[in-house]
Structures are given as structure tokens and as C-alpha cells.
Amino acid sequence: MSAPATPARPARRHDPGRRDRLVDTALDVIAERGVTAATHRAIARAADVPLGSLTYHFDSLTDLLAAAFSRHVDTVAARFDERMRAAPDRAAALEILVEHLTGDLLGSPRDLVLAVELYVAAARNPALRAVTQDWMSRSRRSLERHLDPVNAREVDALVEGLVLHSALSTDPMDAAQIRSALRRLAG
């Protein structure tokens, strides 16, 4: 008499990039439907992976959201720092800041929504507040290449306010108004 046959296990898919894909998909879901719609199920469905993949790669939904928002911050902050590093003087740095605001932060509806979603989520979630704090610190370090620390903090706060103002206003400031406000504040 032979031993009962062991049921065949389904083949495991080799998917070494799954964690990164989940992070990218979380950003897509947040950009399309908002952070409140970015559930485990919605992200797994959009990434076309089993629901258990999320809990395998991330301890919690907050961990996944923090990873996703951190990826967004890393992209935006690195691009801004590279440009500020290349600015030869304060006047050029202020022009780069205007371009950063009007192009990177406000010019992309997706990036604008991601920034606002991060702000709102961070207001209630300390783990996400750490992501916004990191972003602000990185922005200030970039600004401090051309501004003193106090002025850099004030300009950074203006930038944050301009992002929110632009997302919420039916009549947002244009590049000339942004440039004028920055020059008045940063000289």
C-alpha cells in the first residue's frame, strides 16, 4: 500500500521586485483615489498580487504608506537638492525655487495630490509626520545652500503654504506672484 499522495503545491511566483511594485502601486492608488482608499485590498488588487503579499512585505498599512510617501519625497527632494546645488548664487537659487514650485510641485496634478494627501495623512499619523518632517528638513538643507537657516525655514513654510493654497484655490498664484513673494521673503 502506498502513502497517500501529497497535494501538489501551487508554484511560487518568483517576483523579486514585488515590494517595490507594491510601493509604486500604493502611490498610484493614493494619487487616483486618495489615501483613505489606499487599503490593503485596493493596493493588492491594483498590483495584481495576493493580499498576503502586503503583510509579507510590510508590517502594517502605515508602513506601506510611509514607504510609498518616502519614495515620493526622495524623488522630489533629490531633484530639488540637485538643482539648488547647481545654482551659482542666491538669485539663481530663487529662480530654481520658482521653477521647482511651478513645475515639480504644482505643475504635476499627480505630485500635487500626493503632497496634499501626505499633509492630510501626516496630520493624524505620527509615522507619516516623520516623512513630512524629513521632507522639510531636506528642503531646508537645500535652501541653506543659499539662505541662512532662519530664512530657509521661513521660505520652506511659504513653499508648503503655496502648495496647499494652489491645491485648494480656484485662483492660485501664478509664477510671477510666487517669484515676488519669494523675493520679498528671501531677498
Record the cell numbers describing residue 93, joined without a space. Answer: 537659487
Q: Which pLDDT score is estimated for 117?
A: 97
Q: Which pLDDT score is estimated for 153?
A: 97
Cα–Cα distance measured from residue 82 to residue 138, given in angstroms and rounded to the nearest whole number? 12
> Higher-confidence residue: 4 or 149?
149
Decide if pLDDT at 26 tops 80.
Answer: yes
For the chain, give every domain's residue range: 18-186
- Summarised one tens digit per residue, pLDDT across range 30-69 is 999 999 999 999 999 999 999 998 999 999 999 999 999 9
In CATH terms, 18-186 corresponds, of 3.40.50.720, 3.40.50.300, 1.10.357.10, 3.30.420.480, to 1.10.357.10
159 touches 182 (CB < 8 A) = no
Q: Which pLDDT score is estimated for 186?
A: 86
- Summarised one tens digit per residue, pLDDT across range 89-130 is 999 999 999 999 999 889 899 999 999 999 999 999 999 999
Half-sphere exposure of 3 (CA within 13 A, CB side): 3
Residue type, 143: L
> Higher-confidence residue: 17 or 150?
150
93 touches 84 (CB < 8 A) = yes
Average pLDDT (149-163) is 96
Average pLDDT (157-163) is 95
